[in-house]
Structure 1
């Protein structure tokens, strides 16, 4: 009988230690659901997701010692998962005021400089203001940031594509008059879609949405995991690894 209280104390202590260990182990073993869309910054090649944005995401995960399964979906499905599922990382997503409080932001992938483009030969498409641009047929990726921007600003003559690659190919084929592109990723966009971007030209700047493309976590993901990934991203920035990865993408 005298040994009962110490024995119970030891059992309780060991149970507490085990619970803490399992909790930490569970956190360490978390595998992120990483989602994105097909585009010039990330694309599927030989059944593997590649591209400079994907390289950066993998570098951040590696630095943070966090596992991630990267999958490509149509943008609406990827975006919905990032809004509703815990332990989900999404990239490359425009950081807009409307999305600011919906996600836990990790770091910028690429700065944005959005402009309306036309085909050079199509000189009848000649708006000089956003209001004038509403008269023309505009291509956009369904449910993307650009699509949302156009709808908010009462653009109604829209032609929707399921992803960024088909979006620009439809434009080059003359399926619509105008397209909104980020000039800081135009170089790789032309390269990866094998299209001659000497055939297009910018005509209207759009400073309202020229912010940046980011990687972000779902709101339901833990703060500790968010801090870990953010710290890993900052390490890549300060060490120069970010510049090395993105050098081929950013136009100097």
Structure 2
């Protein structure tokens, strides 16, 4: 199976241009988009790694489906997949609102996320409703952005929307932004701390069940039906074999040894 990869951070127009040139270079079947979100998706130099990427690679190889893989800002990748046939996206969260918008191929892993504040903050919360009296920063177009909007949070009032995770985790350091809380993936936090030690000065303020959703591989509704069936069947077989857990476990073990 021939696999081609386009490794760029570009907008929606750039995605289309890059994939047009890529299609000339190889027999493209499925376009796969993702974002830089360690440890799930880890972009380093000319490679997209991370254990979720390894799982997705394994699924496509098992299904014998050719694909292009590229990374972009999450909002661009999400919108492009929503509008473009034969395009898939990972790792994305399945919600009742999103369910009719995509073909959901299968679960990759789960996500442990919580609200964090600076350690010198006196904020105490017992529910997300309590957080409405503060300003919470989230990633644009991700599950938590949409979820907080559904709970009645209002952008530019008590909800600040960030384009990138790097910006998101730096917001608490900017007094002019008046950000009180950020929603951060617990698995992503150690990576961000390794990039900026100031982020170690954070404390967990609220951890609730609704902040622990599952993460999926999802595709545009007009993706080739036979391809979707092959991908779904491969995910089921590999998951039942325990391949996903093995990949994640071995990836974390290697990272621990490297550090």
Contact 1:113 1:207 in 2 (8 A): no
Greater gyration radius = 1
Partner of residue 239, structure 1: 241
Q: How has the CA–CA distance of structure 1 residues 121 and 209 changed in structure 2, closer, same or farther, with 3 Å as cutoff?
A: closer
Q: Give a deviation string over 1:109-134, Cα, whole Å, max 9, x none.
A: 22133322222222x22233322211
Q: How has the CA–CA distance of structure 1 residues 138 and 249 changed in structure 2, closer, same or farther, with 3 Å as cutoff?
A: farther
Which structure 1 segments of 5+ residues have no match?
1-28
Partner of residue 160, structure 1: 161
Contact 2:169 2:199 in 1 (8 A): no
Partner of residue 14, structure 1: none
Shift of 1:102: 1.3
Shift of 1:83: 1.0
Contact 1:39 1:165 in 2 (8 A): no
Asked if 1:181 is matched to 2:203, the reply is no
The alignment of Structure 1 onto Structure 2 pairs a total of residues equal to: 220
Contact 2:132 2:153 in 1 (8 A): yes
Q: 1:135 aligns with which of 124, 133, 136?
A: 133
TM-score normalised over the length of structure 1: 0.77
Asked if 1:38 is matched to 2:36, the reply is yes
Partner of residue 256, structure 2: none
Partner of residue 3, structure 1: none
Q: How has the CA–CA distance of structure 1 residues 79 and 218 changed in structure 2, closer, same or farther, with 3 Å as cutoff?
A: same
Listed as ranges, the matches of 1:215-226 within 5 Å are: 215-226=217-228
Shift of 1:100: 1.0
Whole-angstrom CA distance in 2 between matches of 1:191 and 1:241: 29
What secondary structure is seen at the aligned counterpart in 2 of 1:224?
helix
Q: Give a deviation string over 1:10-66, Cα, whole Å, max 9, x none.
A: xxxxxxxxxxxxxxxxxxx65211011222121321122222211111111111111
What secondary structure is seen at the aligned counterpart in 1 of 2:58?
helix
Whole-angstrom CA distance in 2 between matches of 1:57 and 1:160: 28
Listed as ranges, the matches of 1:1-252 within 5 Å are: 31-40=29-38, 41-122=40-121, 124-156=122-154, 157-171=158-172, 176-183=179-186, 185-186=187-188, 189-190=191-192, 193=195, 195=197, 198-247=200-249, 248=251
Whole-angstrom CA distance in 2 between matches of 1:220 and 1:110: 25
What secondary structure is seen at the aligned counterpart in 2 of 1:143?
coil
Contact 1:37 1:72 in 2 (8 A): yes
Whole-angstrom CA distance in 2 between matches of 1:96 and 1:195: 34
